[in-house]
Homo-oligomer: A and B are copies of this chain.
Amino acid sequence: MTRPPPMAKIRTPPIYTTPTDAATAFYQAFEARDLDAMMATWAEDEDIVCVHPGGTRLVGYAAVRQGWEQLFGGDNHLSFRLEQVVVIETVGLAMQSLVEYITVGKDGNARGTAVCTNVLLRTPVGWRMVMHHASPTPAAPLAEAVGPLH
């Protein structure tokens, strides 16, 4: 008796029809630490850019993927509450600015706050991430706005 061949584990990349759909999938993949799902939200392009808080800039699909792989290999299960979302959308490119309130672990201990810029591009296979730039931010108001560099 012959068995059927094992099913190949093939994921058809989803097509995100709006920038918001792609960004939602991005954060779902982030929380799930799902590398394939995460990279399915990014454009397969040499000009994609990812900046994790306090980190160097990663440019290109391979470097961006390696950054997420490294991040998901750690112990921390992060969760995000996204607030104060500002959106500018055009037919081909969209920008989202938001504040990420980050908690860690099952108890939801506060981890910190990041300000984040996401840029999404309309590609032939739907909207995809081309930029994620997150940096730590204080909770303080305008008086703290000028940091040590500028």
Which A residues are closer than 8 A to B by beta carbons? Answer: 47, 49, 51-59, 63, 66-67, 70-71, 74, 78, 84, 86-88, 90-95, 97, 99, 102, 111-112, 114-115, 117, 119, 121-122, 130-131, 133-142, 144-150
Contacts and interface: CB of A to CB of B under 8 A. Distances in A.
A101 B99 CA distance: 26
A138 B137 CA distance: 17
Contact of A115 (B47, B51, B93): B51
B137 A49 contact: no
A93 to B, nearest CB: 4
Contacts of A150: 52-53, 71, 78, 102, 114, 134
